[in-house]
């Protein structure tokens, strides 16, 4: 079960970022809501975890100030897309997921919550809302580390297709990492 709550009736008209629609997604177990400044400690608990950050595009955060920069970026991105969320489970922030740089998908969970279907539940809600809130978006993209097989399976579950791979796209802690690029076309969203 999925419900979408919107302020300013954003679904009934073309998306206008300046309208500041506040999208809150509710699933059977989760609340996906816009990030707030008081999420800093919870997000730092995730972004400072080296397992959670293993396939991320930068190292685990070693300071609260670094997580503050990420949180500020999430809030700014939400002004553009309206679809940048923290994931709440049992009232606790356990991750983030959303659309940024219209329309690239990104997500991260604290490892304690891996393997419970939470990422799948979150992405189902976010993908559905993206097509509704942004009717002109033709496709949604995602970039992952090819070693992250769980993310590859998750994306293909939703109908994303691998479009291309690129070697040595980012250097993390002295190691060059490759990238796989995926896309979900609007025309395939209901027919993976």
Q: At 114, list the tokens.
A: 């891996």
pLDDT at position 21 is: 56
Indicate whether 46 belongs to any domain.
yes
User: Does 28 reside within a domain?
Assistant: yes
Question: What integer pLDDT is reported at residue 77 of this predicted model?
Answer: 87
**Would 148 be classed as within a structural domain?**
no
H runs (alpha helix) in 39-183? 40-47, 64-81, 118-133, 149-157
Let me know if residue 101 belongs to a domain. Answer: yes
Q: Give the pLDDT mean for 159-165.
A: 97
Distance CA 103, CA 134 (A): 9
Give residue 114's pLDDT.
97
Q: Is residue 192 part of a domain?
A: no
Q: Hey, is 38 helix, strand or coil?
A: helix
Report pLDDT for 192.
53
pLDDT of residue 10 exceeding 50, the answer is no
Over residues 35-79, the pLDDT tens digits come to 999 999 999 999 999 999 999 888 999 999 999 999 999 999 888
Instruction: Give CA torsion, residues 66, 70, 76, 81, to 10 deg.
Output: 170
What is the pLDDT confidence band of residue 11, given thresholds at 50, 70 and 90? very low
157 is a domain residue: no
Between residues 62 and 18, the one the model is more confident about? 62
Mean pLDDT of the chain: 87
- Per-residue pLDDT reduced to its tens digit, 68-125: 999 999 999 888 888 999 999 999 999 999 998 889 999 999 999 999 999 999 999 9
- Which residues form the domain of 126? 3-137
Q: CATH no. for residue 22?
A: 3.40.630.30
Q: Is residue 188 part of a domain?
A: no
Token digits of residue 56: 């991320």
Total domains present in the chain: 1
- Supply the pLDDT for residue 187: 79
Look at residue 171 and tell me if it is in a domain.
no
pLDDT higher than 50, residue 18: no
pLDDT at 175 over 80: yes
pLDDT at 189: 65
Report percent pLDDT > 70 for the chain: 86
**Would you say residue 20 has pLDDT above 80?**
no
CB 154 within 8 A of CB 54: no
Task: Give pLDDT, residue 172.
Answer: 79
Residue 159 β-bridge partners: none
């Amino acid at each position: 079960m999925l419900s979408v709550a919107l302020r300013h009736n954003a679904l009934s008209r073309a998306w206008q970022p300046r309208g500041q629609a506040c999208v809150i997604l509710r699933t059977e177990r989760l609340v996906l809501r816009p990030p707030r400044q008081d999420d800093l400690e919870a997000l730092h608990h995730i972004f400072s975890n080296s397992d959670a950050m293993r396939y991320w595009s930068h190292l685990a955060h070693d300071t609260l100030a670094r997580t503050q920069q990420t949180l500020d970026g999430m809030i700014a991105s939400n002004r553009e897309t309206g679809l940048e969320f923290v994931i709440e489970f049992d009232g606790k922030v356990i991750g983030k997921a959303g659309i940024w740089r219209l329309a690239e998908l990104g997500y991260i969970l604290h490892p304690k919550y891996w393997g419970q279907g939470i990422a799948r539940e979150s992405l189902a809600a976010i993908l559905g809302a993206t097509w509704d809130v942004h009717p002109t978006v033709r496709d949604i993209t995602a970039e992952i580390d090819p070693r992250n097989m769980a993310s590859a399976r998750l994306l293909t579950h939703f109908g994303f297709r691998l479009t291309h791979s690129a070697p040595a796209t980012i250097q993390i802690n002295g190691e060059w990492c490759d990238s796989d690029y995926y896309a979900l076309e609007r025309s395939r969203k209901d027919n993976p």
